[in-house]
Amino acid sequence: MRHTLPIAPQFYVTAPQPCPYLTGRMERKLFTALQGDSAARLNNSLSQQGFRRSQNVLYRPSCAECSACLSARIDVAAFRPTKSQKRTLRRNQTIARQATSPWATEEQYALFRRYLDTRHADGGMADMDVFEFSAMIEETPVRSRVIEYTDQRDLVAVSLTDVLGDGVSMVYSFFTPERPSESLGTFMILDHIEIAREAGLPYVYLGYWVPGSDKMGYKARFSGLEVYSGGKWQPMHDPETFRPDTHPLSTDPIAEQVANIQLPDSRPIQGG
What are the DSSP calls for 100-137, one per residue? E-S---HHHHHHHHHHHHHH-TTSTTTT--HHHHHHHH
CATH code matching the domain that covers 73-241, chosen among 3.40.30.10, 3.40.640.10, 3.40.630.30, 3.40.1190.20: 3.40.630.30
| Alpha carbon distance 18, 33 (integer Å) | 23
Measured between alpha carbons, how far is residue 7 from residues 13, 60, 266 in Å?
18, 20, 13
Regarding predicted confidence, which is higher, 148 or 16?
Answer: 148
- Domain locations in the chain? 2-68+245-259, 73-241
Peptide bond into 9 cis (omega under 30): yes
What single-letter amino acid sits at 198? E
- pTM for this one? 0.89
pLDDT for position 55: 94
What single-letter amino acid sits at 39? A
Q: Quick one: pLDDT band at residue 149, thresholds 50, 70, 90?
A: very high
pLDDT for position 248: 60
Which of 85, 52, 84 is CA-nearest to residue 69?
A: 52
| Alpha carbon distance 123, 20 (integer Å) | 8
pLDDT for position 26: 86
pLDDT for position 217: 79
Q: Could you give the angle at which helices 83-91 and 184-199 cross, rounded to 10 degrees?
A: 90
